[in-house]
């Protein structure tokens, strides 16, 4: 048990830094890897090798090696390297990396001393997160309850599940709190599965609660978690595995037998619909007389979700039969998207009304609720929702402003931060630590340090932090700082325009909208010139090697080599040329071309071909099946609107930029070999 705890703790801190934005994401990855017996040390070694190439300073190299040794759980090596770094900056991290590999066996007093010594810092909160997980696993509720209120970020779902376990152990009624929390199985890990088990054993969760959790896990593709939760039902692992892996065998037997058999039928139905939707529909129609009202609603929701994800025209029909079903957060949202795609505003309104109060507050559903009221002739009610969002900088804020026929105008430019204010930022230890991490190419740690400091800043301090970032050429942090301001809004910080001479040359010759390109870069790389994605995309415009080679050949760029992809001029030239090619093949639609830049040019064509009639660009964007691309399109086009305001002193309508998307376009150019 001691070694397994150490392994889980070690794994929690390793992995892909680009996607690890929250501690809870670290831990679910850790638990999954621990459960399947996967080691992540190979990725850590490769990271160490990369840093060995780029870092010349021996102390810097030792620090990076210390970090990697700590993540691998190598106590002796961590101590050896830490001893060599006595005068190195960011000593708090050296202490942390010395402590981390042996945390689960470290005396409580030593952990407390670290937390007291570094009270109020990002790394102390990180250690408290680590410690709380170990305390929860050990059921040490006395110390857990003392430390939990001091966990500032409180963004780890497992820690929240342990907190509920602690309350349950004291006899508190936590059923509703647990139902509200347990929505996303990918973040559960051990703690939340244990919580479900304890609630089931104490009869606080009924059969429906437990089976809902099994279905959520299966829907999320976390079959291991589903199997562990299913241990608290009447089915065995073999039965659940068959429903997941061989669903048609289960469906062919029909919904016969007791509760467990019917639940397995429902799970198999959702799995089968991924491969053969029509056949799954047919099998449900044969079996639905054996299901009660709620089970039928669940069954149709299983089919409706899969139909929505492939943009099937019958999805709204299936969703209309699902209103008694307890569903996932994704399912509630896809019911609205399917209704939007066919223009059924009554179904849009009814579907949003069925969401949880928390989900209804999301800007997307506030906006579309307003649109539904407007479409149904309730203009005053519609305006109430638009007024909640109007003036905000995001996609739905801009659209709501337009719905109220208000102009999109730039806020008054704030007084630039004074020398004293910038000096205060430059003396902020956390910001200085962040710069050191960026120098070491440890952006995850750098962003954590920077963002930790932003939490405590007022608008003037945020402006100063942004200016400090600009002077140190970390424009992504300038944007992050400016985005948090509430009143003193500096568009130049929020929407920077570096390399404008290069951009002007690249876009003017091909007639490309410069504001749109900047909006895309802001989303792609946040102006980090050395940015490189996990799939190999590089530079400001995040160009894939194959795409770069293709474009360079098409435009006759002589002497091109992939090593030049991070060169600013080369990257912008290739990126704008490719974006223009995509735009040309998609009828000049920025909505489609933006989606194509993220998901590939073939997919937007497939999505539009499934339309029954022309739809607004906003509706098309909202119903993109890929969550990353869906958010990407909305963010890029909202960014472009603000950049237009910067360049032209006015912002064209976002609705105009989004345009209409039709099922087909007679003037569409063939894709050919466009990557």
> What does the domain layout of the chain look like in residue ranges?
1-140, 156-233, 235-327, 330-403, 419-489, 500-661
Token pair recorded at residue 219: 């829907």
What's the DSSP call for residue 413?
P
d(CA 233, CA 211): 8
**Per DSSP, what are the bridge partners of residue 616?**
660
**pLDDT tens-place string over residues 261-318:** 999 999 999 999 999 999 999 999 999 999 999 999 999 999 999 999 999 999 999 9
Beta strands in 611-658 (DSSP E): 615-616
Instruction: Give the closest residue to 69 by CA, choosing from 54, 84, 57.
Output: 84
Res. 79: pLDDT tops 50: yes
Exposure of 88 in the CB half-sphere (CA atoms within 13 A):
23
Rounded distance between C-alpha atoms, residue 199 and residue 221, angstroms: 23
List CB contacts of 394: < 8 A, sequence separation 6 or more.
363, 635, 638
d(Cα 219, Cα 268) in Å, to the nearest integer? 11
Q: Does domain 500-661 have CATH number 1.10.530.10?
A: yes
Assess whether pLDDT exceeds 80 at residue 125.
Answer: yes
Count, residues in the chain: 675
Count CB-CB contacts under 10 A for residue 18.
12
Mean pLDDT of 481-504: 96
The pLDDT mean for the chain works out to 91
In three-state secondary structure terms, 432 is helix
pTM of the full structure: 0.90
pLDDT tens profile 541-599: 999 999 999 999 999 999 899 999 999 999 999 999 999 999 999 999 999 999 999 99
Classify 72 as helix, strand or coil.
coil
Q: 394: which DSSP letter?
A: S
Contact 192, 161 (CB under 8 A): yes
Give the confidence band of 14 by pLDDT, cuts at 50, 70, 90: very low
């Amino acid at each position: 048990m001691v070694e397994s705890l150490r392994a889980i703790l070690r794994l929690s801190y390793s992995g892909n830094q680009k996607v690890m934005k929250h501690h809870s994401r670290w831990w679910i990855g850790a638990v999954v890897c621990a459960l399947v017996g996967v080691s992540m040390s190979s990725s850590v070694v490769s990271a160490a090798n990369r840093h060995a190439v780029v870092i010349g300073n021996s102390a810097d190299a030792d620090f990076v090696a210390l970090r990697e040794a700590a993540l691998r759980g190598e106590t002796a090596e961590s101590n050896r390297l830490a001893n060599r770094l006595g005068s190195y900056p960011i000593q708090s991290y050296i202490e942390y990396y010395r402590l981390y590999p042996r945390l689960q066996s470290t005396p409580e007093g030593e952990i407390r001393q670290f937390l007291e010594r570094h009270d109020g810092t990002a790394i102390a909160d990180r250690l408290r997160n680590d410690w709380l997980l170990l305390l929860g696993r050990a059921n040490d509720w006395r110390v857990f309850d003392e430390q939990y209120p001091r966990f500032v970020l409180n963004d780890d779902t497992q820690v929240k599940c342990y907190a509920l376990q602690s309350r349950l152990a004291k006899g508190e009624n936590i059923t509703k709190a647990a139902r509200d929390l347990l929505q996303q199985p990918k973040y559960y890990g051990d703690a939340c599965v244990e919580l479900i088990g304890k609630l089931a054993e104490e009869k606080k969760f009924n059969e429906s609660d437990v089976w809902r959790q099994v279905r959520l896990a299966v829907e999320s593709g976390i079959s291991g978690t589903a199997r562990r939760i299913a241990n608290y039902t009447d089915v065995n692992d073999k039965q659940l595995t068959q429903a997941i892996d061989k669903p048609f065998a289960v469906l062919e037997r029909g919904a016969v037998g007791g509760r467990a058999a019917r639940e397995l039928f429902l799970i198999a139905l959702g799995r089968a619909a991924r491969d053969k939707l029509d056949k799954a529909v047919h099998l449900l129609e044969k079996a639905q007389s054996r299901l009660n009202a709620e089970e039928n609603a669940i069954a149709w929701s299983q089919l409706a979700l899969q139909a929505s994800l492939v943009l099937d025209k019958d999805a709204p029909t299936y969703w209309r039969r699902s209103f008694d079903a307890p569903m996932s957060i994704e399912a509630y949202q896809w019911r609205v998207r399917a209704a939007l795609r066919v223009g059924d505003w009554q179904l849009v309104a009814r579907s949003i009304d069925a969401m949880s109060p928390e989900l209804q507050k999301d800007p997307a559903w506030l906006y579309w609720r307003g649109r539904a009221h407007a479409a149904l002739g309730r203009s005053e009610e519609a305006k109430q929702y638009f007024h909640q969002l109007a003036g905000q900088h995001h996609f739905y804020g801009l659209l709501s402003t337009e719905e109220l026929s208000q102009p999109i105008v730039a806020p008054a430019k704030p007084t630039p931060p004074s020398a004293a204010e910038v000096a205060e930022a430059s003396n902020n230890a956390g910001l200085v630590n962040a710069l050191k991490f960026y120098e070491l190419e440890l952006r995850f740690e750098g962003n954590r340090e920077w963002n930790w400091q932003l939490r405590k800043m007022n608008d003037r301090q945020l402006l100063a932090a942004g200016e400090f970032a600009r002077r140190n050429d970390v424009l992504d942090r300038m944007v992050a700082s400016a985005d948090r301001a509430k009143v003193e809004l500096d568009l130049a910080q929020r929407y920077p325009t570096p390399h404008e001479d290069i951009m002007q040359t690249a876009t003017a010759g091909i007639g490309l909208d410069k504001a749109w390109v900047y909006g895309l870069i802001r989303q792609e790389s946040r102006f980090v010139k050395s940015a490189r994605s996990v799939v190999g995309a590089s530079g400001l415009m995040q160009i894939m090697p194959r795409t770069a080679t293709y474009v360079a050949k098409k435009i006759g760029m002589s002497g091109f080599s992939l090593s030049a992809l991070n060169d600013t001029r080369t990257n912008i030239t290739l990126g704008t040329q490719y974006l223009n090619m995509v735009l040309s093949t998609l009828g000049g639609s920025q909505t489609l071309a933006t989606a194509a830049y993220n998901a590939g040019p073939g997919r937007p064509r497939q999505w539009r071909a499934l339309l029954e009639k022309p739809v607004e660009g906003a509706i098309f964007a909202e119903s993109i099946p890929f969550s990353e691309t869906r958010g990407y399109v909305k963010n890029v086009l909202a960014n472009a609107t603000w950049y237009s305001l910067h360049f032209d002193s006015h912002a064209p309508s976002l609705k105009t930029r989004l345009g209409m998307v039709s099922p087909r376009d007679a003037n569409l150019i063939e894709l050919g070999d466009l990557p």
